[in-house]
Amino acid sequence: MRALALPLALLAASPAAAQDLSLMLDWFVNPDHAPIIVAQELGFFAEAGLTVDITAPADPSDPPRMLASGQVDLAVGYQPQLHLQVHEGLPLTRIATLVATPLNCLTVIADGPVQSVADLKGRKVGYSVPGMETALMGAMLDRAGLTLDDVELVNVGWSLSPALMTGQVDATLGGFRNFEMTQMRLEGAEGRCLFVEEQGIPAYDELILLANPETMDPDATARFVAAMERGAHYILNHPDQAWRVFRDAHPDLDDELNRQAWAATLPRFSQSPGAVDHGRYARFEAFLRDAGLIDGVLPVSALARDPGA
C-alpha cells in the first residue's frame, strides 16, 4: 500500500483543472482586442484558473445571438447595440468595458466641402448598418438644424473609406477613428473626423464584454475581467513590449496600419473594465427613446452589471 502513497499525495496536491471559457470577438482580431490578447499571451487568464478559447465570428452579427443561445460563454459587443438587443428580448448583459470611448466617426475629406454637419445639406452620407447609424445621423443633423430629409443616405456596405475617397459619398458614418482615418492617410487621402460625442450624441462605451445573465458563472466571469484588466494595465505601462506580444501572437497584423491603429487605440482602453458607468447607460437609453428606437427606458441593472454580481 505504501507504493500508492506518493502518487496519491501528488494527485491531492495538484492544482485544480483550469475552467474552460469560450469567447467570441466582434470581428477578426485587431488592436481593439489588445487587453484580451495580451492577457492570453502573458498567461494572465491561466493564472486566474481559466483556459480561454478565443474565436472570431464568420459574421459580425453572430456573437450576441450565439451568446444568447448558449453557444459561447462570453462575447465582445457594442454598447449602442446592446440596448437594442436587450429590448428585443435577448438575454445579454454588459460585464466589462474594453474600449471606453466612442470610436465611431463621421468622416469627411479634410480639405473637402464638408467641414461641419451643417455642410451635409443636400449631400450623400454613406453608412454600413441601418437603424443605429440612422439614429445617430438624425441626432447630429437635428443639432445642426437639419433633418434626415436634408441628406441622402447611401448603404455602402463595409466599403466606407473607398466610397468616401472615390467621391461616391460626401461623408461616412460607422468607420472607426482609429482605423479608417489611418487607412485613408496610408492610401494618400487625408480624412477628418467629426467626433460623434461632440455632435450631440451621448458618450458611450464602444466595445464591451457581454455575458448571458441566465447562464453566466459570476466567479469565472469576475476572474476573466480581472485578468483582462491586468492586460490593459500592462499595455499602459509597457506599450512597446505589449505591441511585440500582440504582434508575435498575430504576425499577419504586423503592418503599418495596425501599428498606427495600436497607438491610436491605447488611450481608449478602460483601465477599470469592470466598473459600470450608470449615468452613461441611462443617458443612452433616454437618447434611444427620444430617437424612437425603443418604446421605454429600462433600468441600468437590466443592461449592465459588475462582473462579480
Q: For residue range 88-114, what is the model confidence (pLDDT) as tens digits?
A: 999 999 999 999 999 999 999 999 999
Name the percent of the chain lying above pLDDT 70. 94
Strands 124-127 and 171-176: parallel
Mean pLDDT in the chain? 93
Global pTM reads: 0.91
Q: For the residues 207-230, what does the mean pLDDT come to?
A: 97
- From the number of C-beta atoms within 10 Å of its C-beta (0-12, 13-18, 19+), residue 56 rates as middle
In this structure, how many other beta carbons lie within 10 angstroms of the beta carbon of residue 248?
10
Segment 14-48, tens digit of pLDDT: 356 789 999 999 999 999 999 999 999 999 999 99
Counting residues of the chain whose pLDDT is more than 90, the rounded percentage is: 87
pLDDT of residue 306: 87
Judged against a pLDDT cut of 90, whether residue 299 lies above it is answered with yes
In this predicted model, what pLDDT tens digit does every residue of 61-73 receive, in sequence order?
A: 899 999 999 999 9
Query: Which pLDDT belongs to residue 158?
Result: 81
Please provide the CATH number assigned to the domain covering 104-198.
3.40.190.10
- Which fold, 19-101+205-302? D-Maltodextrin-Binding Protein; domain 2 (3.40.190)
pLDDT interval class at 4 (50, 70, 90):
very low
| pLDDT tens, position by position, 260-294 | 999 999 999 999 999 999 999 999 999 999 988 99
Higher pLDDT, 222 or 131: 222
The grid coordinates of residue 35 equal: 487587453
What is the predicted pLDDT for the residue at 16? 61
What does the pLDDT read at residue 309? 64
DSSP, res 52: E
CA dist 41 to 37, 65, 227, 230, Å?
6, 28, 11, 12
| CATH 3.40.190.10 domain span(s) along the chain | 19-101+205-302, 104-198
CA angle 262, 266, 268 (to 5 degrees): 125
